[in-house]
Amino acid sequence: MKLDDLIVGPSPWLQPGGPQCDIILSTRVRLARNVAGRPFSSRLKPDQREELDAWLQKAILKALAPKDVAWFELEGMPEIDRRCLVERHLISRELAAGDGHRGVAIDPTQRLAIMANEEDHIRLQIYSPGLQLDETWRDADEVDDRIEQQVTYTFSPTLGYLTACPTNVGTGMRASVMLHLPGLVLTKQIEKVFRAVSRMRLAVRGLYGEGTQATGDIYQISNQASLGRSESDILKTLGAVIPQILAYERQARDVLATESPKYLDDRIFRAWGLLTHARTISSEETLTLLSAARLGVNMARLKGVDIGAINELFLLTRPGHIQKMRGAELSETERDVARADYIRKRLGAT
């Protein structure tokens, strides 16, 4: 499996058809693990880091047959490729920007990614389309078990898994759900909902995780603490809150359709008009317009439009992907033109 193939392939967190996929893009479970008897990654000397990276690569490829995962070394990888992996949510911004030997194992479907030498020695994540908390956890747990047959984890009988950052101690798990909430944004209820969410020890983040703004009305909701709670407790909390948010979003959409149909359609169709006509468009405006178009398709107001194309564009219009597809480094101005061209082409506009 080559990186170039992986970077143009589909992404499971944008695949339509999952449960509640009109609102929930994807479910992710991430586990943080460290190898017993070794300093945390940030305290490794360069040669120790290199040795651990190689050792983890071997262990992971042994745990998961090479046909199931491919290894990509980050050290020396072109910036554009690292950027694309971040845009695909396959590695963290920290791993991309980091120094020294570090890598990632990715399966061909891109559901599974295991980072080595990030903040923790091992960061394992699984994505599923739509809302699939239990299934995703079960799959992550299984991969974790297979790795554990090769690696002894640092584990405290009282605290649980030990991690570089105290917020991850315990289960080492973060379960998160990526939601598209344009209804709550348009009806100005989003802040209220999120205040309620944070009272339940859940965190709200933007499309690209911690510290990123919610763009395209996409939000990630995840557990904040990992200590003193079992995996199933964490999943239960999320599993109880998400259906409520789903209900609020559906209600907001109903209110818009009933009380302000013209305002709603205006947003949807203007977005569609701009996506299919603009000759230069920024990354941020693209997400805003895609969000409105996605809402239009999911509310059956914008017809004859392939939701798969809209979903895909959320990813393929990111700066890294635009350049990767063009096979050239582009200035921001050039990217904006290439992005507009690509969008029109993908949406069948002339």
Does residue 263 touch a copy of itself according to CB under 8 A?
A: yes
Does residue 228 touch a copy of itself according to CB under 8 A?
A: no
**C-alpha–C-alpha distance, residues 86 and 70, integer Å:** 17
Q: Which stretch binds a copy of itself (CB under 8 A): 11-19, 91-99, 260-268, 307-315?
A: 260-268
Does residue 279 touch a copy of itself according to CB under 8 A?
A: yes
How many helices and strands in the chain, by DSSP H and E?
13, 10
Give the bridge partners for 122, in sequence order.
33, 116
Q: Which stretch binds a copy of itself (CB under 8 A): 7-15, 185-193, 247-255, 263-271?
A: 263-271
Q: How do beta strands 103-106 and 112-116 pair?
A: antiparallel
* Shorter beta-carbon distance to a copy of itself: residue 172 or 319: 319
Does residue 270 touch a copy of itself according to CB under 8 A?
A: yes
**C-alpha–C-alpha distance, residues 216 and 233, integer Å:** 30
**C-alpha–C-alpha distance, residues 235 and 233, integer Å:** 5
* Shorter beta-carbon distance to a copy of itself: residue 147 or 302: 302
Instruction: Pick from 145, 148, 191, 266 the residue near a copy of itself by CB under 8 A.
Output: 266
**C-alpha–C-alpha distance, residues 218 and 81, integer Å:** 24
Q: Minimal distance in Å, beta carbon 87 to a copy of itself?
A: 24
Within 13 Å and on the Cβ side, how many CA atoms surround 13? Answer: 27
Report the candidate in 112, 109, 108, 171 with the shortest Cα–Cα distance to residue 139: 112
Q: Which stretch binds a copy of itself (CB under 8 A): 119-127, 183-191, 249-257, 272-280?
A: 272-280
Q: Minimal distance in Å, beta carbon 338 to a copy of itself?
A: 10
Containing 249, the helix (H) or strand (E) segment is: helix 231-259
Does residue 295 touch a copy of itself according to CB under 8 A?
A: no
Q: Minimal distance in Å, beta carbon 56 to a copy of itself?
A: 47
Residues that bind a copy of itself (CB under 8 A): 262-263, 265-266, 269-270, 272-274, 276-280, 337, 340
